[in-house]
Chains A and B, each alone.
Chain A
């Protein structure tokens, strides 16, 4: 730069004189932050390489293809995808309305003395690892489902598609129910933060005009939170899609077309704990890696959509309040 403005720029430069320590500081931080995108790159590249043989052999047809035959080395992810879709959908339909209604109750109606303990309890339920839910699912919930819930369900609603056939216990429905149990606290925690973060001015204005707490919830809080609440549900869905261990413990581990919700099945994520370590052929490992890649794409898309809706910050589970 030259001319009269040059001296001003120089002066600004001396004011922001950079210390050599600062250059090092920035360099170190840059390296730290750059590892994050680099890791994603390595992750995708590695999965792509592992899946290579299956991608070459089955192409895009793998995604919707059916059949999973380690003997003939023929694989398709269509049935896994169907299992993932069904279990996630049922879990959402059950858990999401309860979680959102529960979050409003906790934020708006709950008696003051109950708020802290209830919050602590829900937070704890959200923090219990999936494998612990899986253990409870397989040793407590499954026997009850087999003996009580499923027969009763079949008797009353056997006409409903998917509720016919033999009752096994381990099944797509059992996995869906367990996912719903896990999703409730997870979605509730986020939904509560969403509601909590809403500006108080409108609520106060409505209350001042004589609106009741329900009217405030219905006409002020809910419309303002709707978008972010949809995001909270999607975050839950992303969690459910990726839950491998708990689902693997109760789904019954069976390939094949979905004939009944009461029959054993599989999902994209839950096939991995059972088969990845025991895979016999290189093609099977590649097919499982291909399935992992698919799982990554679905989970990432769901989460990206959810974050667009929720906005950053509200999804910081456990962040400062």
Chain B
């Protein structure tokens, strides 16, 4: 046992951690400071369409991806060894690793050219594609995390499988599932790439998903590269809002997880 060697490596690994972390912290610090300043000067009327758009687009994506993803995940957990389950699990991993801009291009060709216009719905569909594999995978692992004894008890009582799943397994797995959904929402709300060729952006306040729609990530992308302090202020403010969304959803997920741990203990 050589103490100096030990201490050297402990220091080296710690240093690597700090060196890697600092640029990210600088980015976070930059967004927070610039964003807070921008909060004071920015014209909120100009940001409102993007805020509303992000809420609606994300909601639309949840509406599609959550029921479908939970259904698919339940199938994987209930009938894990069928050929369809194996195939879907693999394809889910493939879709999960697909760059989100690919979904944007795909939905453009699939829906935007077909309907002849950019729309909030097309944007929601593209976001739902980012979300679906995530929801499916976490539903499966969430159900499998429920103790088998709990899952099987209602079956022993002669309950049909659907009732056992809906009223026992899903309820027991609910905290885990809700954490995963929060993470999925956080992941989707900040995506710009799937929206560029689908929702497109819209300078006017609009709640009509049939029309082009603004979104915070689109504002950051477009205004960040635009000249002028007014545009840059908008971009910083929108960026800070996105970071706040990610942070709040992360904190919420952590809180659910901690409550769950406390109850299990």
Spell out A's residues near B (CB within 8 Å). Answer: 19, 21-22, 24-26, 28-37, 39-40, 42-43, 46-47, 49-50, 95, 97-99, 101-102, 104-106, 108-110, 120-125, 127-141, 180-182, 184-185, 188, 210-215, 217-218, 235, 238, 241-245, 249, 269, 272-273, 276-277, 288-289, 292, 295-296, 299-300, 302-304, 306-307, 312-313, 316-321
Contacts and interface: CB of A to CB of B under 8 A. Distances in A.
17 contacts: A22-B162, A29-B74, A33-B84, A40-B95, A47-B109, A98-B19, A102-B17, A106-B17, A110-B14, A127-B247, A130-B190, A139-B224, A273-B193, A299-B99, A316-B141, A319-B180, A320-B257
A19 B138 CA distance: 28
B163 interface: yes
Contacts, number: 309
A101 B250 contact: no
Given A37-B88, A102-B21, A184-B24, A140 B30 contact: yes
Contacts of B27: 125, 128, 132-133, 136-137, 140-141, 181
A319 B138 contact: yes
Contacts of A306: 97
B176 A269 contact: no
B109 A21 contact: no
Given A30-B84, A319-B138, A320-B145, 20 more contacts: A36-B72, A39-B129, A50-B109, A98-B17, A101-B12, A105-B14, A128-B190, A129-B217, A131-B192, A134-B220, A139-B34, A181-B23, A212-B6, A215-B1, A215-B6, A242-B99, A243-B99, A273-B101, A273-B221, A316-B138
Given A25-B162, A47-B105, A212 B87 contact: no
Of the candidates B5, B94, B110, the one having the most CB atoms from chain A within 10 angstroms of its own CB is: B94
A99 B242 CA distance: 24
The 4 closest A-B pairs by CB, nearest first: A242-B99, A129-B190, A303-B97, A32-B71
Of the candidates A181, A249, A288, the one having the most CB atoms from chain B within 10 angstroms of its own CB is: A181
B17 A212 contact: no
Nearest to A25: B162
B105 A131 contact: no
Given A184-B24, A241-B99, A249-B225, A318 B72 contact: no
A276 B236 contact: no
Of the candidates A29, A129, A249, A288, the one having the most CB atoms from chain B within 10 angstroms of its own CB is: A129
B236 to A, nearest CB: 7
B243 interface: yes
Nearest to A42: B110
Contacts of B106: 43, 46-47, 292
B84 A22 contact: no
A293 B221 CA distance: 24
Contact of A295 (B96, B102, B137, B138): B102
Contact of A307 (B25, B93, B101): B93
Contacts of B25: 121, 125
B2 A212 contact: yes
Contact of B96 (A42, A46, A303): A303
Contacts of B31: 128, 132, 135-136
Given A29-B75, A244-B101, A273 B196 contact: yes
